[in-house]
């Protein structure tokens, strides 16, 4: 049972951003501080990647664990109400993500996924790994 009314829950969900989220901005700020220059949400690329580094032929998706169905993550549990709706929604997101990743790879892009929980668990380690993933791509 939801603790909010249907109207209040709808209002809350309408506030969820699809781009320029807090975690995306934190990752971008870090990359910029490390000398990387990027483009944001490039519509011409499949999936409209959150961060595009043309010089490194790398795209980065900063995924929220719930919305993108992060396997094995406690933040990606399906709500107990409207379960069928949420399963369809999240599975559709996963399917679309996989299709976009394959298209980008076939175009020669290095695709990096950064999960919300990774950043919250150990930010410094994850962003340092991200820098290595960008620089090591050939």
For the stretch 69-117, pLDDT in tens is: 999 999 988 888 889 999 999 999 999 999 999 999 999 999 999 999 9
**pLDDT (0 to 100) of residue 80:** 87
SS3 call for 73: coil
Q: How confident is the model at residue 5 (pLDDT cuts 50, 70, 90)?
A: confident
Asked if residue 115 belongs to a domain, the reply is: yes
CATH, residue 48 = 3.40.960.10
| Long-range CB contacts for residues 87-91, cutoff 8 Å, separation at least 24 | 90/66
pTM: 0.86
Residue 1 reports pLDDT greater than 80? no
User: Number of structural domains, the chain?
Assistant: 1
Asked if residue 73 belongs to a domain, the reply is: yes
Asked if residue 1 belongs to a domain, the reply is: no
What is d(CA 81, CA 72) in angstroms, rounded to the nearest whole number? 20
Asked if residue 5 belongs to a domain, the reply is: no
Domain that holds residue 112: 17-135
**pLDDT (0 to 100) of residue 103:** 98
DSSP category for residue 79: P
């Amino acid at each position: 049972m939801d603790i909010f009314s249907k109207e209040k829950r709808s209002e809350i969900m309408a506030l969820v951003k699809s781009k320029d989220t807090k975690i995306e901005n934190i990752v971008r700020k870090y990359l910029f501080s490390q000398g990387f220059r990027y483009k944001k949400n490039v519509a011409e690329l499949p999936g409209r990647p959150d961060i595009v580094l043309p010089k490194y032929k790398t795209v980065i998706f900063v995924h929220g664990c719930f919305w993108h169905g992060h396997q094995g993550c406690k933040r990606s549990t399906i709500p107990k109400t409207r379960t069928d709706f949420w399963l369809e929604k999240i599975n559709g997101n996963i399917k679309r993500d996989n299709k976009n990743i394959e298209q980008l790879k076939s175009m020669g892009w290095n695709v990096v996924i950064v999960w919300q929980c990774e950043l919250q668990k150990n930010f410094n380690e994850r962003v340092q790994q991200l820098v290595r993933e960008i620089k090591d791509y050939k």
